[in-house]
Amino acid sequence: MRHVDPAVMIDLVEQKVRKSERERCQQHLTDCEGCTAEHESWWTFLSGLAPSNLTDAPTELLNECIAIYQKPEQQLSGFQKACVLFDSFLQPLAVTGLRGTMTEARQVVVGTDAFDVHLKVSGKESNQTIMAQLLPKGYIDVADAEIQLRVPGHAALLTRSNEFGQFTLKAVPSGPFFFLITLPPSGNMVQFSV
Ligand SMILES: [Zn+2]
């Protein structure tokens, strides 16, 4: 007596067997306890695989699960700290006090986590020129950074740094100066006033 092949057994459960074959198998199953048991186990197993009506988990539970996998905010995103490291107006170098070496330009160095900003402010009160350079700390691209200078009571001045991180702003009214520097592509922003 030929037992029912497991592959045929599966087809049998899924009703994919031709009529003549099915009749032969069903006849065998009535005579063979082993195949009957196997057929029943396949039936149980395959019916368990049938698609069931899935229901969504409660919203609260889903939100809790999402919260578990949310990454903490990256340190380098958003605003970064900036502090004035040097300002010739506030901390005049000894040599600048010497006759003949006094320069009219104001030198400012601002330090941030990602880069230093060297500023040189020259010219008359109402028509100043600011020449500056962003000096990266480590491997950070300071080219094509968006520079925004706001002086209270005046329209914002906009420019971009060149490939060396340098930029120049002309016709700058007298300060205080509020700088907002945005680095592409990270979008990191640094804000400081001098
Ligand atoms: Zn059998």
Tell me the CATH number at 85: 2.60.40.10
57 in a domain, yes or no? no
Q: Which range of residues forms the domain containing residue 25?
A: 1-51
Domain count, the chain: 2
Instruction: Return all residues near 98 (Cβ < 8 A) that are at least 6 apart.
Output: none
179 in a domain, yes or no? yes
Instruction: Return all residues near 14 (Cβ < 8 A) that are at least 6 apart.
Output: 46
19 and 107 housed in the same domain:
no
Ligand 1 centroid distance, CA of 16 (Å): 19
Ligand 1 centroid distance, CA of 51 (Å): 30
60 in a domain, yes or no? no
Ligand 1 centroid distance, CA of 5 (Å): 9
7 in a domain, yes or no? yes
182 and 96 housed in the same domain:
yes
93 and 182 housed in the same domain:
yes
88 and 183 housed in the same domain:
yes
111 in a domain, yes or no? yes
Beta strands in 1-51 (DSSP E): none
CA–CA separation, 27 and 12 (whole Å): 13
75: pLDDT strictly greater than 50: no
Question: Which tokens in the block code for residue 68?
Answer: 């578990």
182 has which bridge partners?
Answer: 146, 189
16 and 93 housed in the same domain:
no
Ligand 1 centroid distance, CA of 33 (Å): 7
Ligand 1 centroid distance, CA of 49 (Å): 25
Helix (H) or strand (E) holding 40: helix 33-49
pLDDT of residue 177: 92
CA–CA separation, 63 and 30 (whole Å): 54
| Residue 46 φ then ψ, to 5° | -70, -35
Ligand 1 centroid distance, CA of 9 (Å): 11
Ligand 1 centroid distance, CA of 64 (Å): 52
Percent of residues, the chain, with pLDDT higher than 90: 37
pLDDT tens, residue by residue, 27-54: 999 999 999 999 988 888 887 776 655 6
CA–CA separation, 84 and 116 (whole Å): 10
119 and 188 housed in the same domain:
yes
For residue 75, CA distances in Å to 126, 143, 170, 173 come to 39, 21, 34, 34
Ligand 1 centroid distance, CA of 20 (Å): 17
For residue 123, CA distances in Å to 91, 104, 160 come to 20, 8, 21
171 in a domain, yes or no? yes
Instruction: Return all residues near 42 (Cβ < 8 A) that are at least 6 apart.
Output: 6, 9, 10, 12, 13
pLDDT tens, residue by residue, 94-104: 555 555 445 57
- Average pLDDT, integer, range 148-156: 92
pLDDT tens, residue by residue, 136-148: 988 788 999 999 9
92 and 42 housed in the same domain:
no
Ligand 1 centroid distance, CA of 15 (Å): 18
64 in a domain, yes or no? no
CA–CA separation, 138 and 169 (whole Å): 26
